[in-house]
Amino acid sequence: MGTLFKKIQVAISNERYLVSSHADERCEERGISDWQIIAGFSDSELLRERPASKPNPSVVVRQELADGTEVEAIWAYLADSGRAMLVTVYFTE
C-alpha cells in the first residue's frame, strides 16, 4: 500500500475530507451520491499514486458501488490541513 494512499485513507476514516465542486457535479451527472464514494473508499483498490500531481498529490482508486458498478475516483491529499479531497469520479469502461 502506498504512503499517499494511507494518508488519504486515514484522513477519510477520521472524517477529514472535502468533496470538490467538480466531483460533486460529476457525481450528480452520473447518478452517484458522493457518500457512496466516501463510504466505499475503505474497500477501494489503489491503481496509482501521483505524488507530483499539481496542485496536490493524488491517487487513483477503483471501487465498486453498492449495485456492482465499477468506478474510478481521484483523491488528493491536502498536506497543509491533513485532509483528503475527492477530485472526480468516473465510470470505467
Taking alpha carbons only, the member of 57, 61, 35, 36 closest to residue 46 is: 61
pTM of the model: 0.93
Domains parsed from the chain with CATH numbers: 3-91 (3.30.2310)
DSSP, residue by residue, 9-48 = HHHHHTT-EEE-HHHHHHHHHHT--HHHHHHHGGG-EEEE
18: number of Cβ within 10 Å: 15
Q: Are 60 and 47 in contact (CB under 8 A)?
A: yes
Q: What is the pLDDT along the chain (93 residues), one digit of tens a residue?
A: 579 999 999 999 999 999 999 999 999 999 999 999 999 999 999 999 999 999 999 999 999 998 889 999 999 999 999 999 999 999 987
